[in-house]
Amino acid sequence: MTERTRRDLCPGLLRPWIADDGALVRVRVPGGMLPVDALAGLVDVAERHGDGAVHLTSRANLQMRAIGHEDGCLSDDVVDAVMATGLMPSASHERVRNVMASPLTGRAGGRADLRPVVRELDALVCADPTLAALAGRFLFVLDDGRGDVAGRDLDLGLVAVGADAVQLRAGASGWGRVVPLADAATALASLAVRFVAAAGAQPTSPWHVDELPGGGAGLLDEAQDPRPETRVTSDPPPLGRIPQDDGRHAQHLAAPDGRLERRLLDEVRALGAPDVVVTPWRTLIVPDLENA
C-alpha cells in the first residue's frame, strides 16, 4: 500500500491554499450543476475580495483566487458570503464532494439520466461521518454511456450500460458488477466507505483507490470484465446551441482561460435559465432554454 508523508492539502473554503497572490478557495459542485444565482454570489465574492473572476477547473468545480487572509484564515465576510450561496451544505465534507458527471446527462444524448444519482451520492457522502476522511483529490466519475468523461482518471465511478443499469468502476482498471440505476449511488457510497476502512484515516494514508494493494480490483466484491457497452468515447459537445431531447435547447458557452467574469455572467443571466452546468472542459452549459 502506498504511504503518503502528509495529509492531502487540496483546498476548500474552510482550509484555503495560501499562494503568492493570496488565498485560493475551491468550491465543489457535484455534477457541475448549480443555480445561476449561486454562481452570481461567487462572482460577487471574487469581485469584492479576489481577482474578479471565478475560475472553472478541469474537475468541473469552481475556484476564487487572490483573496485576502490573515495567517491563512479568511475573513467572516468571505466565509459567510460563500456559505450564503447554498453551495456548501456540509462544512465537514466540503472538500470531498468531488463528483464529475456527463454534463448533458438527462438532457441531450446518453443512455441514462444520472442527475438523480449525482444528487443522491452527494447526500450519502455528506451524511456519513466516515467519508469526511476521504482526500480532497478523491474523485467519483459518472459517465452516462456517451463516453465524454469515461476516460478521466477516477477513484470510483460508473458507466451507464442502459437506461436503467450501470457498471461500477474502481480505480484505473477495476470493473465491478452491473447494478440497477436506482442502486448506483448507494453502491458507490458503500465502496467509498470500504476504501476508507482499507486506507485508514491517518496523515500517511493513501489518497486514491489505485494506491491500495490490488488497486480497484481489491476493493470490489468480485472484479468483472467491462461490458462491451462501456467501451465508449466522445468529444466535448461543440460550442453554441445544443438541441435537447425534450425539444428545448442548451447553450454551450466558452469561458476564456477558464475565467468567468461579470460580462460572461451577464450573458448567462440574459438567457433566462435558472441553472447552469460547469463542464470538465472549463466551459458553461446553460440548459433548458425555450425555443424562440
Q: Are residues 76 and 36 in the same domain?
A: yes
Of the candidates 223, 229, 254, the residue with the CA atom closest to the CA atom of residue 240: 254
pLDDT tens-digit map of 52-105: 999 999 999 999 998 888 887 888 898 999 999 999 999 999 999 999 999 999
Give the model's pLDDT for residue 102.
98
Question: Is residue 30 included in any domain, yes or no?
Answer: yes
Give the model's pLDDT for residue 3.
59
At which of 230, 255, 275 does a domain end?
230
Higher pLDDT, 144 or 15: 144
Give the model's pLDDT for residue 203.
77
At which of 68, 92, 116 does a domain end?
92
Distance of CA 246 to the CA centre of its chain: 25
Question: Is residue 188 included in any domain, yes or no?
Answer: yes
Task: For residue 11, report the phi and psi dihedrals to the nearest 5 degrees.
Answer: -80, 160
Question: Does the pLDDT at position 278 exceed 90?
Answer: yes
Q: Are residues 57 and 180 in the same domain?
A: no
Q: Are residues 105 and 178 in the same domain?
A: yes
Residue with cell 508523508: 5
Question: Does the pLDDT at position 2 exceed 60?
Answer: no
Q: Are residues 55 and 129 in the same domain?
A: no
Q: Are residues 197 and 138 in the same domain?
A: yes
Question: Residue 253 is part of which domain span?
Answer: 240-289
Q: Are residues 109 and 72 in the same domain?
A: no
Question: Is residue 100 included in any domain, yes or no?
Answer: yes
Task: Give burial (CB, 10 Å; 0-12/13-18/19+) of 28.
Answer: buried
Question: Is residue 252 included in any domain, yes or no?
Answer: yes
pLDDT tens-digit map of 188-236: 999 999 999 999 878 788 999 999 999 999 999 888 999 999 999 999 9
Question: Does the pLDDT at position 266 exceed 70?
Answer: yes
Q: Are residues 122 and 69 in the same domain?
A: no
pLDDT tens-digit map of 57-68: 999 999 999 888
Question: Is residue 11 included in any domain, yes or no?
Answer: no
Give the model's pLDDT for residue 55.
97
Q: Are residues 64 and 136 in the same domain?
A: no
Give the model's pLDDT for residue 19.
85
At which of 67, 92, 117 does a domain end?
92
Q: Cβ of 263: how many Cβ atoms within 10 Å?
A: 7
pLDDT tens-digit map of 34-48: 999 999 999 999 999
The count of structural domains within the chain is: 3
Average pLDDT, the chain: 94
3-state SS class at 116:
helix
Question: Is residue 173 included in any domain, yes or no?
Answer: yes
Query: Binning pLDDT at 50, 70 and 90, where does residue 5 land?
Result: low
**Burial call 135-165: b when 16+ CB within 10 Å, e when fewer:** bbbbbbbbbbbbbbbbeeebbbbbbbbeeeb
Contacts of 116 (CB under 8 A, 6+ apart): none
Question: Is residue 190 included in any domain, yes or no?
Answer: yes
Q: 22 has which bridge partners?
A: 19
Give the model's pLDDT for residue 146.
98
Q: Are residues 103 and 54 in the same domain?
A: no
Give the model's pLDDT for residue 125.
98
Q: Are residues 177 and 206 in the same domain?
A: yes
Question: Is residue 10 included in any domain, yes or no?
Answer: no
Q: Model-level pTM?
A: 0.95
Q: How far apart are CA 208 and CA 2, in angstroms?
A: 9
Q: Are residues 45 and 124 in the same domain?
A: no
Give the model's pLDDT for residue 20.
81
- The CATH code of the domain that includes 146 is 3.30.413.10
Q: Are residues 84 and 122 in the same domain?
A: no
